[in-house]
Structures are given as structure tokens and as C-alpha cells.
Structure 1
Amino acid sequence: MGVVSETASSVRRGRPLRFAAALLVLLALIGYVVVQYVTGGGPPRCVVRTAEDGGSSYELSAEQADNAATISAVGTTRGMPQRAVTIALATALQESALRNIEHGDRDSLGLFQQRPSQGWGTPEQILDPVYAAGKFYDHLAEVPGYSRLPLTVAAQRVQRSGFPQAYAKHEPDATLLAAALTGRAAATLTCESRDGGRAGDPAKLRSELVRAFGSDVLPRGGAGRGSPGAQDTTELAVPVPSTAEAERAGAPRRGWELAHWAVARADTLRISEVSYGGRVWSAAESGKGWRKEPAGAAGSGADESSGAGTSGDGTADQGTGDVRIRLAQ
């Protein structure tokens, strides 16, 4: 009888403890939900859409967009066509889901799962997205007529994968990404960005621009137009060919290539605002995507009355001007 009473007493004492534990779990869950609501929930996301209303779209993480922007920039800087960028992006989507991973089959590494033992480079080199993308394009350029081949065939000639048909399922998403990141489709890529309380580093921004696009991207000592020597400025104006050169050099397309690159890398580089062609993207209002810039705003580069946007075939038709990139402070 005494044993039964003692057991009942233990059960009664245990109930408050279980209740307290359950309450703590509930409070933690409520706190998590509140934080997710306030911050927008989860890691930053990016969306790329077709230029036409009601067209298809593709959502990816900020990390994936960051890597995709690097792959595209390395390709165009080498003079590779948009088809090459599409092939590279589809390959990276299949091999690593556009994540710079430090593992894989056997000694495979990085965005393209390249193998040091097969002569692709050292592990450190392969894990550098700029290097890895460059090596992929080096091999792709050696494939005769690659731009006319089916994507799976072109990718397989480079990768020698055990699952060559797997690249095909990524072609629609890679095509959308390539159109935006090469600048062919204007104002079609937008990303979320978290404040995080961190300021952007002007030197890092300039360094990353040069690594991706080459030394010619920042003339006048690397400071950007209108700010010679201002190496610590938090706003960078990246020159785009003038109106007189636009038809020959494809200025609007080049401008949107740079602008989309900056938005795709905004979370990593702590970019707070990007403007070009009469449109502006800001981290504070990233949910609104590319908004029309107020008339007369510095660096708008487009006449608002001309209906800045895209032409009927989806190509960029905005006026020329600087791509203005502002860092978080």
C-alpha cells in the first residue's frame, strides 16, 4: 500500500514538470513563428521571371543566385554566347544544385563537381566559383558546334557524367536564368535581402566586379565613374557604353547584366540598392522587385515617358547610363 501511495505521489510531482516542459516548448515555437514573420521567414530567396506578364518563373535561394551570377559573368566576359551560359547553368543545377559544395562522388567538388584527380585543378581552385566556371567554359569551347547541339549532349561532352540525360530537366530554368543574367531580359531577376546589421565593403565589391567581369569593368583607377580615387565610397557607378556606342556595344544588355549581377549578389556583398534604365531595386523594398525610378533621379538612364521596360521580343530596350550600386552602411 505504501508503495502505491509513493508512486501516486511521484506521478503528481511529475505533472508540473511535464507541464512546464510543454509550456517552454510552446513558447519557443511561438517565438520562432514571430521571428519568421518579422524577418520574412527563412533564408533570402530570389525569383527570375520571363519578360512577358503571366509567363513562367523560377525561384532559387540567394546562394544559388549568387553562384549563377558568377557563372554567367565569367562566361560573357570570355565572349561566350548566351547558349553557353545556359549550358553551364543547367550543368551546375544538376551537379550541385548551384551550391559550392565540398563533397561529391569520389573526389568531386564544387559547382560542377570537378575532380582534382582528373586534372580540373587543385581542391582550392575548384572551390573558387570563378575558376570552376572558367574551366567549364574552357572545355565547352573545345566541343565543336556546341551551341547547335542538344543541351544534354553539349554538357555531357564536358562532364562525362553517368547520367547524361539528367541535364535536360534543368534547361527551362537555366534558360530563364541565362536571359536575365546576360542582360537580354531586363528587370526580370529580383532577390530578397536581409539587413543583418552589417555594412558593405567597397573594396570587396570592386574586387568581385573585377574578378567576374575583368579589369575593364571599373575604369579610372577602379573607383567607378564620377568618383576617381574614392576607394571607400559606399556608392559605385559602373559605366555602361554611351548612347553613341550603344547600338554597337549592346549597352542596355550590358547594363542589365551588371544590374542583375549586383542584385543576385546583394545578400553576400551587402548591397542595399541597384538602379539602371529607369528602374531601381532596393533591399528595403525587395518584395516589390524592380520599381520605376522617380523622374530626374540620378543615374536613372532612361526617359520615363518612353515606357522603360522590354521590347516585344523580351530584349532590353532601356536607355544607357551608369549602373549605380549602393552598399549598406
Structure 2
Amino acid sequence: MRVRFSRGVITIVVVVVVLAVGVSVGLYHLLKRAPRLAVQPEAYCTAVTPDGTIGLDIEQARISATIAAVAARRRLPERAVVIAYATALQESKLSNLDYGDRDSVGVFQQRESQGWGRKKQLMDPVYATNKFFAALVKVKNYRKLPLAEAAQAVQRSAGGYAYAPHEGDAKILAAAFTGRVPKAVHCWYPSAKTPPPQPKTAEARKQLARALGSTAITSKKRGWLVAAWSVAHAEQYAISRVGYSGVTWSNDLELEGWQAGGKAGDRRVELS
């Protein structure tokens, strides 16, 4: 038996459907035009190179930048940086931990009882990285050894095989933070304070010098290392813009990566 609806019922159904579609479309466009009304994400960083992309939290990015800066100060090859990153990823996930197995602490989980230094020193990523590299360069032919063997020769851990799986990610981080790949590091952090804090550029440069030594830009690669370090530490020093070599990073959630523009040339990294 067929069920027939009157014109009035059909009209009401059509009106309801049209209204529902209209409300949905209107709500979509409202949200699209007002993205700031949505809950903002937590601070984050990315390292993007031809070999891949890695997402980092702010602490991981700062430590990655510090490791690259210390390596540059010591004039070490990128292979040393890769080994350091793989080791730190396994030991602490690139975090400055104040705990670990027995008395292990810090980025590389170094132990005071094994002569690496005092706990307070080991909790300083610059100091800990210098100690790691000082031990690494004493490993014969470390550049040619499989990564796990080189890392294990320094760490002497219970499971030296565990460093190898991190080699791919370590290579991406090394390419980005050493400055070999330009415009590779991008970060964002929430800055809802009114008025916004004044950038602490002098303090930022002072802390960069602790890891890097001279902050003079002597090559484009070094310039991009300084730029990457500055972006990774932008939240810490209230920096909202970093300019280098004709492009600018801005702390803007709606922008992805570095944008064309800016006064800074190849001999200066501009912070503001």
C-alpha cells in the first residue's frame, strides 16, 4: 500500500532540510573566518628536509639546536651530530631529564658516578653535549663506524643496539639544525599576553654564544644554524620574528614555514 503525503507535509520537510543545510553552511564559514575562536594547539616545532619531516616539542627543539651549536663550536662533522641525536633520542627522547636509571640524568643520561660530572653540570645541555662530543672524538674511526657502535663506545649502555633505529630521524635533525638545509626549522608558541613581552634579544645572543662561541656569521650554513637556534628558542626569549637571507620566520599560527621578505642579509640574523 502506498503512503501519500499531503503538499503541506512535503513543504514542511523541504523547509526543515533547507534550514538545516543553511545552518551547517553558515556555521562552517563562521568557524573558517574565526579560527582564533577555536582552541589553540600547544607550542610545537617541525624540522623539514628533503629526507623527511619530524615534529618536536619546544624542549626537544631547543636541545636539538644546542647540540648542533656545540658541534659547530668544536668544528665537528655532521656525522658526529647524527650520532649525538640518535643517542639523545634513545636515552631521553631529546629531553633534559632530572631522573633515570640509578644516577643517570640529562639529555644523554650521563652518570655522576661514572665521572661525567656533577648532577648540576649534567643537567646543563651545553655541558652535557660537550662531554659527549669529547668522548666521541676519542673513539677511533667513529665517522666510519656503524652508528650504534660509535654511540655505544661512548655510552657503554646495557643495550647499545637500541641507538641504530634512530639514525633516520637523527639525519633529518642534523640536516635541519646544522644549517645545511635552509629554512628547515619552524616553531609556533601561544602569545596571548597583552601587551606582549619585549623580546630578550641580548640574552638570547648571550646564551647562543655559550654553545656556539662566536656568533659571527661566516657562512650561509652558519647563518642558518643561528637562525634555527633562534627560532627554537623564540618562546624562551619572547622573540616573534627571525630574519635571515631575505626570508622571515614569524610566530604566526596561520603561516607555515619561512616567508619571503625581511631586511637581514647573509651576514646577520635579525631578531625582534
Same-fold call, TM > 0.5?
Answer: yes
Match among 149, 155, 159 for residue 159 of structure 1: 155
Whether the aligned pair in 1 keeps the contact of 2:79 and 2:143 (CA below 8 Å) is: yes
Question: What RMSD in Å do the two structures reach over aligned CA positions?
Answer: 1.9
Q: Give the equivalent residue in structure 1 for 2:46.
A: 47
Cα distance in structure 1, aligned partners of 2:205 and 2:267:
19
- The one-character-per-residue Cα deviations of 1:217-272 (angstroms, maximum 9, x if unpaired) are 2xxxxxxxxxxxxxxxxxxxxx423xxxxxxxxx1111111111111111222211
Any gaps of 5 or more consecutive residues in structure 1?
Answer: 1-34, 218-238, 242-250, 302-319
Give the residue type in structure 1 aligned to 2:207. E
Q: Give the equivalent residue in structure 2 for 1:169.
A: 165
**1:85-234 pair list within 5 angstroms:** 85-197=81-193, 198-214=197-213, 216-217=214-215
Question: How far off is 1:40 after superposition?
Answer: 2.2
Whether the aligned pair in 2 keeps the contact of 1:192 and 1:287 (CA below 8 Å) is: no
Question: How far off is 1:116 after superposition?
Answer: 0.3
Question: How far off is 1:100 after superposition?
Answer: 0.4
Q: Give the equivalent residue in structure 2 for 1:31.
A: none
Whether the aligned pair in 2 keeps the contact of 1:108 and 1:114 (CA below 8 Å) is: yes
Q: 1:162 to 1:173 in 2, by over 3 A?
A: same
Whether the aligned pair in 1 keeps the contact of 2:68 and 2:81 (CA below 8 Å) is: yes
Whether the aligned pair in 1 keeps the contact of 2:69 and 2:212 (CA below 8 Å) is: yes
What TM-score results when the alignment is normalised by the length of structure 2? 0.82
Task: Indicate whether 1:263 and 2:231 are aligned.
Answer: yes
Cα distance in structure 1, aligned partners of 2:270 and 2:151:
35
- The one-character-per-residue Cα deviations of 1:30-83 (angstroms, maximum 9, x if unpaired) are xxxxx9964522x211111124xxx52111111100111111111111111111
Match among 62, 65, 70 for residue 66 of structure 2: 70
Secondary structure of the corresponding residue to residue 280 of structure 1? strand
Percent of aligned positions that are identical: 44
Q: Give the equivalent residue in structure 1 for 2:271.
A: 325
Give the residue type in structure 1 aligned to 2:263. A
Whether the aligned pair in 1 keeps the contact of 2:244 and 2:270 (CA below 8 Å) is: yes
Cα distance in structure 2, aligned partners of 1:204 and 1:291:
26
Whether the aligned pair in 1 keeps the contact of 2:243 and 2:263 (CA below 8 Å) is: no
Cα distance in structure 1, aligned partners of 2:149 and 2:100:
22
Whether the aligned pair in 2 keeps the contact of 1:151 and 1:168 (CA below 8 Å) is: yes
Cα distance in structure 2, aligned partners of 1:83 and 1:284:
33
Q: Give the equivalent residue in structure 1 for 2:30.
A: none
Cα distance in structure 2, aligned partners of 1:185 and 1:97:
23
Aligned residues: 236
What TM-score results when the alignment is normalised by the length of structure 1? 0.68
